[in-house]
Amino acid sequence: MKIIKKGKFEKTWTKRYKCTGKGHGGGGCRAVLELTSDDLFLDYEYADSITIHFECPQCTSVTKIPTNDVPDKFREMIPRDYKDWKHNQERGAKK
């Protein structure tokens, strides 16, 4: 994704991950992906435990990333579940 005009945050969170399927039974394609906070969605493994995940665009495997990798201010922008994230993605693609 390319930023044409930056939003209210000065910096965009980006980090590279390998598609490993970690936390989802493995099976990732090992693609190396550079993510932004727009690529992430939350999940609740336990009642009060938030986890952060992304879906690989190549093989659609889901990989869990360490929650602490994402600074608080970006964590607040992450959709609360996969359904929400998918909805955002589809809405964004139609623009």
* Sites of contact with Zn ion (CB under 5 A): 19, 28-29, 31, 56, 58-59, 61
CB of 61 to Zn ion, least distance (A): 5
- The pair of three-digit structure tokens given for residue 91, joined into one six-digit string: 């809405």
Q: Which is nearer to Zn ion, 31 or 42 (CB)?
A: 31
Write phi, then psi, for 18 (nearest 5 degrees). -100, 140
CB of 28 to Zn ion, least distance (A): 5
Q: Which is nearer to Zn ion, 31 or 75 (CB)?
A: 31
Name the H helices within 1-95: 72-75, 82-94
Q: Which is nearer to Zn ion, 58 or 71 (CB)?
A: 58
- Are 33 and 74 in contact by the 8 Å Cβ rule? The answer is no
